[in-house]
């Protein structure tokens, strides 16, 4: 569908119609799969698995993003050692910064709660501020920008996903009386 070029007039309507049709086909396929399963306990288990997969997919994606941020910290440790002169950084400073990036990668990979995620986000923000004194003459190569794009932005997205997930769980279970529809709307 992405490779197809549509005429400009009513472009959005055409694309929207295509997407609705694709979603409808997928839904019909799922319903057909459910019809095939005649045993009600199997059908219920299958439906439960589909719901669980759909419910947990954002959390799994957030975990994947967290691990990618840890990989990026490892990458930055390597980059700092190779390009420290371009940023006005001595070899000794670069070695220490690289050690700090490697330690940061370990900390990021150990995140297992929203609290840990927020703490590490704050740590990376302050760390980035401290490294901002090492400037490259071109913005595209600045360490500050690289940390923001490769670590801070993904972690920030994970924080939003986790908060939204917790609000939905609280609303569904009724455990959190202050979780209102307005709270959900603000998070999305």
For the chain, the domains span 59-187
Rg (CA), the chain: 23
Tell me, what's the pLDDT at 183?
44
Banded pLDDT at 70 (limits 50, 70, 90):
very high
The answer to whether residues 170 and 187 touch, using CB atoms and an 8 Å cutoff, is no
Tell whether pTM > 0.75.
no
The yes-or-no verdict on residue 102 having pLDDT over 50 is yes
DSSP 37-48: --SHHHHHHHHH
């Amino acid at each position: 569908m992405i490779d197809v070029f549509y005429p400009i007039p009513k472009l959005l309507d055409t694309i929207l119609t295509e997407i609705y049709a694709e979603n409808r086909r997928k839904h019909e396929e799922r319903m057909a799969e459910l019809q095939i399963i005649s045993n009600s306990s199997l059908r219920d288990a299958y439906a439960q698995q589909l719901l669980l997969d759909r419910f947990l997919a954002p959390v799994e994606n957030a975990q994947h993003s967290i691990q990618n941020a840890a990989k990026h910290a490892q990458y930055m440790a390597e980059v700092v050692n190779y390009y420290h002169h371009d940023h006005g950084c001595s070899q000794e400073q670069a070695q220490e910064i690289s050690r700090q990036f490697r330690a940061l990668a370990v900390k990021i990979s150990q995140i297992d709660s929203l609290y840990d995620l927020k703490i590490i986000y704050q740590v990376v923000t302050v760390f980035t501020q401290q490294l901002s004194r090492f400037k490259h003459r071109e913005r595209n190569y600045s360490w500050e920008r690289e940390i923001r794009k490769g670590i801070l932005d993904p972690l920030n997205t994970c924080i939003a996903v986790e908060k939204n997930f917790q609000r939905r769980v609280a609303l569904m279970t009724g455990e959190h009386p202050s979780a209102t529809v307005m709270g959900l709307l603000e998070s999305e």
